[in-house]
Amino acid sequence: MPRPIVPRPVLNAGIAGATARSCGRALDLLRAPLPALLAVLIIGTNDIRARSALSKAATDDFFGQTDRIVDRLQAWTLDTLVAALPPTPAAKASERDPAAVEVYSDCLRAVCVRRGVSFFDPFAGLRGARFGLAEDDAFVDGTYPRDYTAVAARIASHVRTHFKSEPYLDSALPGFDEEYYRSWYADTCRYPHGLARHYLDLGWREGRDPSGQFSTDGYLEANADVRAAGVNPLIHFLEVGFAQGRTGWQKPHPRPTRSPHGDPDA
């Protein structure tokens, strides 16, 4: 994604001709040195090329493989976003069944429900009368979207609006969501050195969460050595804990783990 759209480093990992199974094998070989804010998964176009793509065995295998991929991405990122399959140009309908586009997108939607992550459709503007079919002129050589920039912009727009991520992406402290912190902990707005500095200096000791994805108390409870060392849990997670596979930071909902502190002057 162009950096002006998302003002953070972006890793775009694509493997030509890869299926869900081969992508899963590739992920097994990777190790993430630092956690990402968000993973966006676009997958399935090569899977529907198989002659038996609409068989129960094939769709069950696709579900299982993508479920495993999302599980791996959840361990590497604070959140995961999964895209519907792009539509098939009419000229390529014999190679990529338009019906399979919808069936496999439904599989991905079911994976998202199972894993508690978000499903979206950045290719909605390319679809014709049928979900799985597109006009030929929307693609180059029947494969590549003619306007990649528009697709990237739709993805970036969804990320910013759905995840309310503008302050989160622009924060000088990775993993800290200034808007979230301000909305739940209004009393911290008086801190003279800024909200991120408040969390680093005081907030984590008071059990405040830096975002809707990271639990301060949860991480400290799951990692007694971090608590005993008196280390900021978010900093430990970013620098050491993520690479070590530490857990406890995940939250089932965006609300603060501990009841928000009231405004002392209210």
Report pLDDT for 104: 98
- Residue 239: what residue type? E
Domain 20-163: which topology? Rossmann fold (3.40.50)
Say yes or no to pLDDT of 19 above 70. Answer: yes
Give per-residue pLDDT as tens, 127-167: 988 999 998 888 888 778 888 878 888 888 887 776 655 55
Task: List the end-to-end C-alpha distance of the chain, in Å, as a whole number.
Answer: 44
Report pLDDT for 264: 36
The distance from CA 45 to its chain's CA centroid, rounded to whole angstroms, is 20
Say yes or no to pLDDT of 26 above 50. Answer: yes
Identify the residue with better confidence: 243 or 73: 73
Reading the block at residue 17, the tokens are 């001709």
In the predicted model, what is the mean pLDDT of residues 240-248?
Answer: 83
Q: Residue ranges per domain, the chain?
A: 20-163, 173-244
Identify the residue with better confidence: 199 or 149: 199
Is the distance from CB of 162 to CB of 112 less than 8 angstroms?
Answer: no
Q: In angstroms, rounded to a whole number, what is the distance separating the alpha carbons of residues 96 and 87? A: 9
Q: How confident is the model at residue 266 (pLDDT cuts 50, 70, 90)?
A: very low
Element (H, E) at 88: strand 88-89
The pTM score is: 0.64
